[in-house]
A and B are shown apart, each in its own frame.
Chain A
């Protein structure tokens, strides 16, 4: 594998994580629990889709088949998407949405902080720009995890259930294979070993303030990075790809 191929894979992963989570959150536009939160979640969705645009644009330039960002976003089949399983999980209730977001934001912030000093200037630039947005996303999701966890008896119970249900997908945030190994060696991306302790500290601090506890089981679900997705992914893609599939090459 060449550096270019590895970098294509890496930017595609990051782009897919952003794209699919952005698509998920966009489903809540007009359906947020209160007006203020509806706007907040939609802002975050747009930030993520904006980040996906930058990342997939770069991936397109590295792609051996020279696909552009729109072709990458809308015209791949399910097993060609390499996002982690966490981001494709359904919105569920508000606690599920927030907990999923929190686990992701804590990871993304730690990743982007390190990526902003990457030897690859393009990736460093994207990371630096995205970091400002993602730091706010983390603040927002952390505040809510604490409020729901340390809120009423019912809100505590419900978000604890969200944590029990979603934590099994967090492990995949730290997936690594030969793509990462090559890029780590060249100083282009940070290693999971470097990011994990930062993520773990954020998660532990917030969960402690929220009076929540990690599930006792040690379940670890993964597969998304290798194109094996959960049953929810097909429905999401059908929704997301409908326009480009029905009216090929249409522009908005």
Chain B
């Protein structure tokens, strides 16, 4: 196999503040994990977007097949009773 001259791709996840999830914000190239964190800091948090960074090699992510969309996701659309919308959320509960 020909050795790639390009650096591996990394997916970047940022936690914007304490108590929230890390969210996927984009991807970047870096030669290794340390550099990926540094690059993510410079590319994705320069406007105070976060307090924690995760990076994951993109090739470690297994994705669903877009052609399976119908059988995977379509059936959920008609099942309104799965949504917890039949009770009142108390005041002061955010991030639900």
Contact = CB atoms under 8 A, between A and B. Distances in A.
Secondary structure of the A contact surface, majority rule = helix
A139 interface: yes
A43 interface: yes
A35 B41 CA distance: 13
Contacts of B42: 36, 39-40, 43
A67 interface: no
A36 B7 CA distance: 12
Interface string B44-56: 0010000000000
Contact of A39 (B31, B34, B46): B46
Contact of B38 (A34, A35, A139): A139
Interface residues of B, number: 13
Given A143-B34, A147-B31, A36 B46 contact: no
A140 B43 CA distance: 14
B34 A36 contact: no
Nearest to A37: B39
A54 to B, nearest CB: 19
Contacts of B31: 147
A140 B38 contact: yes
Interface of A: 34-37, 39-40, 43, 136, 139-140, 143, 147
Given A40-B42, A43-B46, 13 more contacts: A34-B7, A34-B29, A36-B28, A36-B30, A36-B39, A36-B42, A39-B42, A40-B39, A43-B42, A136-B41, A143-B35, A143-B38, A147-B35
